[in-house]
């Protein structure tokens, strides 16, 4: 309990310190633009990315046979991570005509190569998974409770 209080108080003080610093240096930190990107990232994740991934998970649950499902899910997770960190270099927004040492590579080629290697690893894991017999299906879940009145 003491640890919890200590962490909360220190944390709250750091949050206030950061906010005050942001506002005191408003000429550099452009708080209007900061708020847009600060909350924009949260909304983009919670309202777009997460539901999309949940839906994808649902589809995989329906479409992919149980035996190979873990391999498919794991491979897609790694592919997603690669794709996310590749987006800024893929757009090429940072390129400068007078400085070719910035973003010197063909990043589409790089991403496809990385995904290709990943796919190869996925196929090997898939082959291994298929050699093992399927695990017995888990028991049916208990039936859903009856709907609440009011609907």
Partner 1 sequence: MVLRPRRSLSETLLKEGAIGEALERELGHLRTGPFDEDAFPSRLHDERLASLLGIALGVCFMTCFATGLVSHFAQDPWEIGILSMPAAPAWLYRVTQGLHVATGIAAIPLLLVKLWVVYPKFFTWPPVRDPAHALARLSLVPLVAGSIFQLFSGLLNTARWYPWEFAFTATHYWTSWIVMGALLVHIGAQLSIVRRNVGRTGKARSAAVSPEPPGDGLSRRGLLTATAAAVGAVTLTTVGQTVRPLKGLAVLAPRLPDSGPQGVPVNKSAVGARVTDLIRDPAYRLTVGGRVQRELSFTLEELRALPQHEADLAITCVEGWSSGARWSGVRVRDLLDRAGASPDAEVLVTSMQPRGAYRQSELNVPHARHADTLLALRLNGEELHPDHGFPCRLIAPNRPGVQQTKWVTSLEVL
Q: For residues 7-36, which are near partner 1 according to CB under 8 A?
A: 7-8, 10-19, 21-22, 25, 28-30, 32-34, 36
CA dihedral 110, 112, 115, 119 (to 10 degrees): -140
Are 102 and 55 a contacting pair, CB within 8 Å? no
Residues contacting 70, CB < 8 A, separation 6+: 129
* Residue placing its CB nearer to partner 1 in the complex, 133 or 139: 139
| Axis crossing angle, helix 50-63 with helix 69-91, rounded to the nearest 10 | 140
* Residue placing its CB nearer to partner 1 in the complex, 44 or 130: 44
Pick from 48, 52, 77, 134 the residue near partner 1 by CB under 8 A: 77
Q: For residues 96-135, which are near partner 1 according to CB under 8 A?
A: 96, 98-105, 107, 109-111, 113-114, 118
């Amino acid at each position: 309990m003491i640890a919890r209080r200590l962490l909360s108080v220190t944390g709250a003080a750091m949050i206030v310190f950061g906010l005050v610093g942001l506002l005191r240096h408003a000429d550099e930190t452009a708080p209007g633009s900061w708020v847009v990107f600060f909350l924009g990232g949260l909304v983009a994740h919670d309202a777009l990315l997460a539901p999309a991934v949940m839906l994808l998970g649902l589809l995989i649950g329906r479409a992919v046979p149980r035996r190979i499902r873990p391999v498919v899910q794991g491979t897609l997770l790694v592919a997603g991570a690669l794709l996310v960190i590749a987006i800024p270099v893929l757009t090429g927004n940072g390129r400068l005509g007078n400085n070719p040492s910035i973003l010197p590579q063909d990043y589409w080629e790089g991403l496809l190569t990385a995904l290709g290697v990943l796919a190869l690893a996925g196929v090997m894991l898939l082959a291994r998974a298929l050699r093992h017999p399927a695990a017995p299906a888990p028991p049916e879940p208990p039936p859903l409770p009856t709907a609440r009145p009011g609907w």
